[in-house]
Structure 1
């Protein structure tokens, strides 16, 4: 992250209403802002899980989906997904598909820091191993999707709150993550189109 990196602030309908420095956004009164979540799969349908770096402001050392981030103002979200996967995990992406165009959540850490994002969810497919950036990622592991979904949905795996919420939606798309239907980009919130 560069010191002047900004995120897109949103109204409740998903329209852009301004920007703010990323470093100043997350706190007890976090405004609604645009983000994304991505789930990286290999050709065998295994999902790449990441443990957030221990020095992260929000949810340090917590296991989560492959990569989350914020598009820069004016940056198409698929481009942001590719950019962050390269930066955080050293991955070159074969394809990026929109899965959940309107996912939104609010989560509060024990220390009162709030995460509040309109966060479309994407699938990325890769053919190579991850090379984690220690500034972002503490650890990675590949897990068969069905095993991961079962562990999270049965309460047997501790995972980030946004990932837990997304899993119930993704699980409904079918057992094979490589054949999930791609969502229509027209269903994205206005600021993400």
Structure 2
């Protein structure tokens, strides 16, 4: 199956989709169902380490598109996050091949269409720029599965992708995924972080790399270094 052939599934089916498990150096070592990968393991005090991506999409005025996750999300429902965040799929070879930078970009194109309705030809592979990788862990809420209480957590190596459009962004929001969206300016960000419930990975991004990204790549328009080869990817930063 290719990224283009992927057809959106129900929430239950998506929770059963396989996502890539990785080791401490971000090498794929296997796969697990999305739900299983987020189970909190009390013995190790973490869920399974897996690969993810986070998209920061800016409009022509330099404002960042953020989303509030729907109440149906597996982890951190109703919290605000960046434009789009998800995982490559193990079943799509182009997303989990030898070039992880390209793989997460292909996954981003797929999810941007699914969550926000952004056409696949609106933002292409070359429009996404990899600006960092971070590893973070954060416990989430409990859910009930088969009448049993299950604790969930995030444990991810997260690829941070940015893109900017010079024309209005066509959106068709998937309400099963997103409760609402908003554009925020760099000046509005501190108050937004103070007043709103924020997902842990987005807060990490905002407190670390986002100010530099906003200044250098968006306001000043400097070109991003294109990280491509697996041996030349951004350092994995612990958050």
Give the TM-score, by structure 1 length: 0.86
Tell me the residue number matched to 2:3. none
Give the whole-Å Cα distance in 2 for the aligned partners of 1:59 and 1:67: 14
Tell me the residue number matched to 1:79. 106
- SS of the equivalent of 2:188 reads helix
What do the CA deviations read for 1:72-92 (whole angstroms, capped 9, x no partner)? 223111111111101100113
- 8 Å contact from structure 2 (residues 70, 179) kept in 1: yes
Tell me the residue number matched to 2:156. 117
| Larger radius of gyration between Structure 1 and Structure 2 | 2
Tell me the residue number matched to 1:35. 52
Q: Taking structure 1 as reference, are residues 151 and 181 closer, same or farther at Cα in structure 2, changes over 3 Å only?
A: farther
Q: Residue 22 of structure 1 is aligned with which of 26, 31, 34?
A: 34
What are the ranges of 5 or more consecutive residues in structure 2 without an aligned counterpart? Answer: 1-7, 42-46, 96-102, 143-150
- 8 Å contact from structure 2 (residues 186, 214) kept in 1: no
Give the whole-Å Cα distance in 2 for the aligned partners of 1:159 and 1:177: 24
Tell me the residue number matched to 1:139. 180
Query: Per-residue deviation at 1:125?
Result: 2.4
Give the whole-Å Cα distance in 2 for the aligned partners of 1:49 and 1:37: 11
- SS of the equivalent of 1:145 reads coil
Query: Per-residue deviation at 1:6?
Result: 1.0
Q: Taking structure 1 as reference, are residues 173 and 66 closer, same or farther at Cα in structure 2, changes over 3 Å only?
A: closer
Give the whole-Å Cα distance in 2 for the aligned partners of 1:188 and 1:8: 19
Give the whole-Å Cα distance in 1 for the aligned partners of 2:178 and 2:195: 22
- 8 Å contact from structure 2 (residues 217, 224) kept in 1: no
Q: Taking structure 1 as reference, are residues 82 and 141 closer, same or farther at Cα in structure 2, changes over 3 Å only?
A: same
Query: Per-residue deviation at 1:109?
Result: 2.1
Provide runs of 4+ in structure 1 moved above 3 Å: none
Tell me the residue number matched to 1:5. 17
- SS of the equivalent of 1:103 reads strand
Q: Taking structure 1 as reference, are residues 85 and 20 closer, same or farther at Cα in structure 2, changes over 3 Å only?
A: same
Tell me the residue number matched to 2:62. 45
Q: Taking structure 1 as reference, are residues 173 and 48 closer, same or farther at Cα in structure 2, changes over 3 Å only?
A: closer
Aligned residues: 187
Indicate the RMSD between aligned Cα atoms, in angstroms. 2.2
Give the TM-score, by structure 2 length: 0.71
What are the ranges of 5 or more consecutive residues in structure 1 without an aligned counterpart? Answer: none
The reply on whether 1:93 has 2:110 as its aligned counterpart is no
